[in-house]
Chains A and B, each alone.
Chain A
């Protein structure tokens, strides 16, 4: 089944403790992206990658890192999480970066930072 898989689904951590949220897609998609979803603010892009070893900042990149060493994987790294990073995170992928290529989303990771 074609899908984007994120892990973990739920994560509670403390301020400053480094964490990684994994994302993997099995559709051989070139483009991958991370979003956060907050009430009243909607989906905001954190980072994106147009291909292996190519990553770029989205609209809200502060406090996050990503890497794209393989086509299928695009982990999101929080080196020193803070409470304002408490949010619902989505990984997404698409065949290419064109506007007519729909985004496929994972089922989300709900992160709480205390």
Chain B
């Protein structure tokens, strides 16, 4: 079983829809949770970063962490065609050797006009 599970999609939604992207994890040591966005032919870029359980909002994006269920989500409100990309969840914990970061496999999102 992978430490981090993410549905690969593809997920296709109409413009203006609310999008929900999710990841589950099995390692309770994970303390920090991130969402990266990756456009085609580009490297991933950090979108959201959270430390604790609960919600964090940034514009149209909301990141949600439920540590008791080992489940994280990213919500995109009023989705736009420019949101079409692959979304990678990532999570980490500190070890003696530094930060141990694990990525999900990514969910491909397409927002259609």
Contacts and interface: CB of A to CB of B under 8 A. Distances in A.
**What's the interface size class on A, roughly?**
20 to 34
B88 A43 contact: yes
A40 B46 contact: no
Q: Which 5 A-B pairs have the closest CB atoms?
A: A105-B43, A42-B105, A97-B98, A99-B32, A102-B46
A102 B49 contact: yes
Interface residues of B, number: 25
B41 interface: yes
The main secondary structure of chain B at its interface with chain A is strand
B103 A43 contact: yes
B92 A99 contact: yes
A24 to B, nearest CB: 14
6 contacts: A92-B43, A98-B94, A99-B51, A100-B51, A102-B46, A107-B42
Given A41-B105, A42-B103, A42-B106, A99 B45 contact: no
